[in-house]
Structure 1
Amino acid sequence: MPEEQLFKTEDVHTRSEIAQTLTAAAEQIESGTVELTSATQEQSVSIPDEPTLEVELERLTDSETGEQRYELEYELRWTE
């Protein structure tokens, strides 16, 4: 299935800022409409009543440096 990326942003923030962003996102998800905005992009999407929630925690190791990093992802999925 072809993938079409509609919106992406990635920036460093404090834990507090991230928590505020996730709280605002949770409120939008609960309302059924999510508005995504950045300096260069805008996207709006309707969330159905019962999407699938995936939570994933990974530890990744850089093959060249041996440096480890963690990724914590919250993902919603649904079909139209």
Structure 2
Amino acid sequence: MPEEVLFKSEQTQSRSEIATLLRRVADNLDSGESITLRAGAEEVTMDPPANPTFEVKAEREGPAGQPGELSVEFELEWDEDASSDDGGSLEIE
């Protein structure tokens, strides 16, 4: 299935700034509100269902055995026309 990018933003920010943005997403999820992503003139609003799939990935990109780029990715997924099933539990420390 082809992927259509609805919104993308990538910029260097402080850990505190990132935490503020993630906290806003968490607060909206907790209260059942939509999530609006905005950067300049670009904007998209999404309304995750009560039980979306939550994917967490830690990755290293680059040549094997050599220093590369590290990343942590947090992703919410759901079908546009159906709610997702409840998955197993994840813990983050």
Taking structure 2 as the reference length, what is the TM-score of the superposition? Answer: 0.76
State the Cα RMSD in Å.
Answer: 1.5
**Count of paired positions:** 78
Equivalence for 1:48:
49
**Higher normalized strand content (fraction of residues):** 1
Residue equivalent to 2:29: 29
- How far residue 23 of structure 1 moved from its aligned partner, in angstroms, is 0.3
Segments of 5+ residues of structure 1 without an aligned counterpart are: none
**In 2, Cα distance between equivalents of 1:39 and 1:54:** 27
Gaps in structure 2 of 5+ consecutive residues? 82-93
Which residue matches 2:76?
A: 76
Letter in 2 for 1:69: E
**TM, length-normalised to structure 1:** 0.87
The DSSP-based 3-state class of the residue aligned with 1:71 is strand
Partner of 1:7: 7
- Name the structure 1 match of 2:61: 60
Verify the 8 A CA contact 1:32 1:48 in the aligned structure 2. Answer: no
Identical aligned pairs, as a percentage? 36
- Name the CA shift for 1:12/1:78 in 2 (closer, same or farther; >3 Å): same
